[in-house]
Amino acid sequence: MKKYEIGLIGLSVMGQNLALNIARNHSISVYNRTESKTKDFIKNKVDKQEIKAAYGLEDFISSLAKPRKIMLMIKAGKPVDLVIDSLLPYLSKDDIIIDGGNSHFEDTNRRLKNLEEKGIRYLGVGISGGEYGALHGPSIMPGGTKEAYAEVADILKDAAAKTDKGACVSYLGPKSAGHYVKMIHNGIEYGIMEILAEIYDYLRKVLQLKPDEMGDVFAEWNQELDSYLVEITAKIMKKNDPKTGKKLIDLILDKAKHKGTGKWSVQSALDLGTAIPTINAGVNARLVSSIKQERVENAAQFDKSSRALVDKKEILSQLKSALYFASVIAYAEGFKLLKTASEEYNYNLNYKEIARIWEDGCIIRSGLLEPIQQAFADNMNLNTLITTEQFKDQLNVKANQLTELISTAAQSGVPLTAIHSALDYFNSLKSEELPANLIQAQRDFFGAHTYQRRDEKGTFHTNWE
């Protein structure tokens, strides 16, 4: 019986597309718990690719060459544990399990440790690019057992997106390094999506542009920014609803959902004592959007803000600056958190390489990733992107343009939460003096928590009463 190079479990759209992608260069066996989904996939999607359909776990495992390589494309959380448990009776020493879902990094650490004790090798692999990327080439972020990665590297490289610098995949580090990097990728994604949403809100409410006009604005800006998220925003603005002929964006309810990776980024940042306010604003904005009925009821109790009178050309320039500025800050926050996590968890991350594999295939790909690579090539241990020669001068100029924008938004009742957070973060990082001395005095006043002095070494407490 023919033995296949790799197996894949989980035939959702992502799993199906990744299987078809892998099958261009490698033989693959697929399995899904629901048999009808496997049959539909083989009947409707598979043409001449070398894909075997397995309808039982034992058949699936026996179809694979040893050491077996099994990729899981299933929902994060308990389902991953259940599938792993169901596989274990059929596996042998040195077989490799590859979790390609958005698993929490601590779950990945736990699974790797448990499987290592059983002689099974484990890779936590972040995959970004959505359905299109899965089929045509995603950005792939593997971490875990390094020897296991070496055995699947060719398969992942062939499946990944390609640039002139190579395949958008690289071994990132031990344990949960891959899933951690993917989590931060998604956190940055939350931040940039919210930045774009706020600019859209300003364009429609203050400048009162129509969707087609906004689409033109975003498309023009993207000639310089070269951002996937800006590109799709321009296309969204142009899309007509096939049912009504109206612009589809105007018919979509303003309640944003989330799957948890953005929240996990914020939770991890708090655990590691690292500020990521722009990313945090992206998460908070989705939470506020979800209470639609409450917002409608609240709005009825307040007078509507009067629209600020602005110069359209000048404001469009300011909005473009805000998009660049806040996007750079979102990346800066993400890489700062990656640096902190790498030191805490001994990932030994290569930040230049992370920026390289994000250049294509993934959701946050943009022209900003090339100067980010240059910045880390100059100094792999830099503390923040804001002080690098690639960004410092631009950020300083654009920060000065944001104050009027934020003022007119406030006058018009338009929240710019992420953009404002980005500016405050920038101003905080370049502030020699912050008011934390008052906070320490307050803490000492009510809780005797002590403080340090500017003029003497040591720790002090005062009887403030």
Which residues sit in the known binding site for substrate? Answer: 102, 128-130, 185-186, 190, 259, 286, 443, 449
DSSP-derived letter for residue 248 is G
Positive or negative: CA dihedral 398, 401, 407, 411: negative
Distance of alpha carbon 151 from its chain centroid, rounded?
27
3-state DSSP call for residue 454?
Answer: coil
| Residues 264 and 189: beta-carbon distance below 8 Å | no
Other Cβ atoms less than 10 A from the Cβ of 419: the count is: 26
Which residue, among 189, 108, 188, has the nearest Cα to 143 in the 3D structure?
A: 108
Check if 189 is active-site: yes
Q: How many residues does the chain have?
A: 465
Sort strands 28-31 and 6-9 into parallel, antiparallel or unpaired. Answer: parallel
Which of the following is catalytic: 52, 175, 189, 398?
189
Q: How far apart are CA 423 and CA 428, in angstroms?
A: 8
Annotated binding site: 10-15, 32-34, 74-76, 102, 128-130, 185-186, 190, 259, 286, 443, 449
DSSP-derived letter for residue 128 is E
| Residues 332 and 384: beta-carbon distance below 8 Å | yes
Distances (CA, A) of 311 to 201, 308, 322, 381, 409: 17, 10, 16, 43, 13
Which residue, among 82, 47, 327, has the nearest Cα to 192 in the 3D structure?
A: 327
Annotated binding site for NADP(+): 10-15, 32-34, 74-76, 102
Distances (CA, A) of 70 to 60, 104, 306, 411, 429: 10, 19, 59, 56, 45
Check if 182 is active-site: yes
Q: How far apart are CA 14 and CA 130, in angstroms?
A: 7
Which of the following is catalytic: 52, 69, 175, 182?
182
Which residue, among 454, 458, 446, 431, has the nearest Cα to 275 in the 3D structure?
A: 431
DSSP-derived letter for residue 143 is E
| Residues 461 and 453: beta-carbon distance below 8 Å | no
Residue 46 has, within 13 A of its CA and on its CB side, a CA count of: 22
220, 225, 231, 233 alpha-carbon torsion, rounded to 10°: -80
Tell me the backbone φ, ψ of residue 54, rounded to 5 degrees.
-110, 140
Helical segments of 118-176, H only:
130-136, 146-159
Provide the annotated active-site residues: 182, 189
